[in-house]
Amino acid sequence: MEVNVSAIADEIFKRTVETRRDFHKHPEVAWTEFRTTSIIADRLRESGFQVLLGEDILNKNERLAVPGKEYIEECRQRAIEEGANPETVEIIRDGITGVVGILKNGEGPTVGVRVDIDALEVKESEDGGHKPFKEGFSSIHDGLSHACGHDGHAAIGLAIADVFSKIKNEFSGTLKLIFQPGEEGMRGARPMVIKGVVDDVDYLLGLHIGLKADRTGKLIAGSYDFLATTKMDVFFKGQSAHAGLTPQNGKNALLAGAAAATHLHAISRHGEGASRINVGTLNAGTGRNVIPDRAVMKIETRGVNTGINSYMESEARRVIEGAALMNDVTVEIEVVGSSKSGKSDPEMISEVKKASGEVKEVTEVLDEASFGACEDFTYMMEKVQSNGGKATFIMVGADLASDHHSPLFDYDEAVLKTGTKIASQTIFNITAVQNKLKSEIAP
């Protein structure tokens, strides 16, 4: 059988677009991706994949920033009302979302593909020129939207499953499709790595629509300069008092938060590479005549490598604790997300470039580009590389309607076909070599 991956991707393109639009219409944020998980699981079973869910794919105790039980239950019920499989939802009922699909065919390498599936807390535009709104597939969940392309990533992952369900006897090895929850906020990869999801992966591919590949037809086959990051929520607790009568009895948490915010941005930057810090929010107090007894601050540190980020995190903790001590309040720091630095392997970049030569939609190829932001795919990348495997993170080009994380974000859906073809062809090329060798030595 002569395998034409591109022809299969062309045949299923309409379904891929429909899948993307369905996910786009029903966005779900980290640890509440009940409907998304359910649909992915059903589709993978339909394609002949073994499906793993819940505690089989992640360590639930290592999840960060898990929503409250009441909100999780609300989202779970909503998912069932919107068509989720109740049996699947029951398995993941506590917010242990995400899916791993496995397709085996004899001996050979294990190739993993990671796609993320969560949405953002961004209200989608209702502007008449916004294509999802105009064509009736914009978010029906107020305040939530797929404003970063993860709807397309999930659709590409299922399209890859569709491709390999049709050629499952033409490769030799194991295909592992990893549908990761909670990428936004850097929360989902680490619990999966701790569980061992990528321990057996020899070659790992991650992908993202757009970013530095900002036009249709462009492909970036590898990435470097992933910024390591730590996301922290900071809780100052003081003592309230009457601001006029007994201010001496108060302990001002607002002043502690304000002092911390000012001095955090004054931390000396690192001389060996890029470092960042940002105070994103600071909320404090209850009224104008009350000494503020509490303040909540949300911050993040970043570094061009894990060591520099560790320096920024350590300095941030020192500043925060100093501000608390200076104002005689207590403080708690909760890590709610993190990622590491990373770099694609030249061998995998070469494989992706080779595959792109067989994809007519690709008109421009770059070996690699500086990522310049954070991605918790790096936890999976590092684990595979430390085990002797190879990994890369590719950016698949698309014309973008607006910036990522914007209410007007949208992209040229042609990228769904391109992404499916590049990933599928890369997987096939890696595993077909083994299949060819196997057939050559067969009696």
Read off the pLDDT of residues 96-111 as tens digits, 9 standing for 90 and up. Answer: 999 999 999 999 999 9
Q: Which amino acid is at 38?
A: S
- Per residue in 82-96, pLDDT (tens digit) is 999 999 999 999 999
Give all domains of the chain, ordered by start, each with its CATH number.
Answer: 5-226+340-441 (3.40.630.10), 228-339 (3.30.70.360)
Q: What secondary structure does DSSP assign to 22-71, as a single string?
A: HHHHS---TT--HHHHHHHHHHHHHTT-EEEEGGGTS-GGG--SPPPHHH
361 and 421 Cβ atoms separated by less than 8 Å: yes
Nearest to 92 by CA among 181, 222, 216: 181
351-to-346, 358, 392, 432 alpha-carbon distances in Å: 9, 12, 10, 13
Compute the C-alpha angle 313/318/324, nearest 5°: 125
301 and 309 Cβ atoms separated by less than 8 Å: yes
Tokens of 107: 């001996």
Tokens of 65: 């920033």
Q: How far, in Å, CA of 304 to CA of 224, rounded?
A: 10
pLDDT at position 434 is 53
**Which residue ranges in the chain fall short of pLDDT 70?**
1, 433-443
Span between the terminal Cα atoms of the chain, in Å: 19
pLDDT at position 2 is 77
User: Which H/E stretch holds residue 413?
Assistant: none
Q: How far, in Å, CA of 220 to CA of 424, rounded?
A: 16
Q: How many helices (H) and strands (E) does the chain have?
A: 13, 14
Residues 116-150 as b/e (b if ≥16 CB within 10 A, e otherwise) read: bbbbbebebbeeeebebbeeebbbebeebbbbbbb
pLDDT at position 207 is 98
Contacts (Cβ under 8 Å, ≥6 apart) of 284 = 236, 253, 254, 257, 258, 292, 294, 295, 296
Residues 369-407 as b/e (b if ≥16 CB within 10 A, e otherwise) read: bebeebbbbbbbbbbbbeeebbbbbbbbbbebbeebebb
Q: How far, in Å, CA of 236 to CA of 323, rounded?
A: 10
Q: What is the DSSP letter of 248?
A: G
Nearest to 396 by CA among 376, 414, 374: 414
Tokens of 356: 């792109």
Q: For the purposes of burial, counting CB atoms within 10 Å of the CB of 5, is it exposed (0-12), middle (13-18) or buried (19 or more)? A: buried
Q: How far, in Å, CA of 315 to CA of 340, rounded?
A: 18
How does strand 110-116 pair with strand 203-209?
parallel
Q: How far, in Å, CA of 269 to CA of 278, rounded?
A: 13
pLDDT at position 443 is 44
Q: 333 — phi, psi (to 5°)?
A: -120, 125
Q: Outline where 60-147 has alpha helix (H).
A: 69-81, 86-91, 131-134
Q: What is the DSSP letter of 212?
A: T
